[in-house]
Amino acid sequence: MTANRLEMDPPLSTPTRQTSGRGSNHIPTGDTTKEVPPTSSKLPSDGIMEESVNEMTTMLSNILEHHGRANQRLASLKEDLRSHKTRGGEAEGHD
């Protein structure tokens, strides 16, 4: 009876899906862009992430602003030191 059953079932290597036409494996050739969900479908964590990004942006902006002021102050001190040296004096050091 096993031999009869084997004859009735198709071999396992036979393709079972459609290989041509508009079957399940059809690759569309037109516009394949996905539809963007509306902004109202934000996840609850989106607001937290946006707030974190805003905080980090503000912090970075403050750091860059402080760095710029520090660089200006350093340039000013270097200029003061150069002008002091060119007037004939030496920079006074502490022993």
Confidence at residue 90, expressed as pLDDT on a 0 to 100 scale: 55
> Using alpha carbons only, what angle is made at residue 19 by residues 17 and 21, rounded to the nearest 5 degrees?
115
pTM above 0.75, yes or no: no
Residue with tokens 């109202």: 40
Confidence at residue 66, expressed as pLDDT on a 0 to 100 scale: 97
Q: Which residues contact 38 (CB under 8 A, 6 or more apart)?
A: none
What pLDDT tens digit does each residue of the chain (95 aa) get? 555 555 555 555 555 555 555 555 555 566 666 666 666 666 667 788 889 999 999 999 999 999 999 999 999 999 999 998 887 655 555 54
Confidence at residue 87, expressed as pLDDT on a 0 to 100 scale: 79
Confidence at residue 95, expressed as pLDDT on a 0 to 100 scale: 44
Token digits for 23?
């079957």
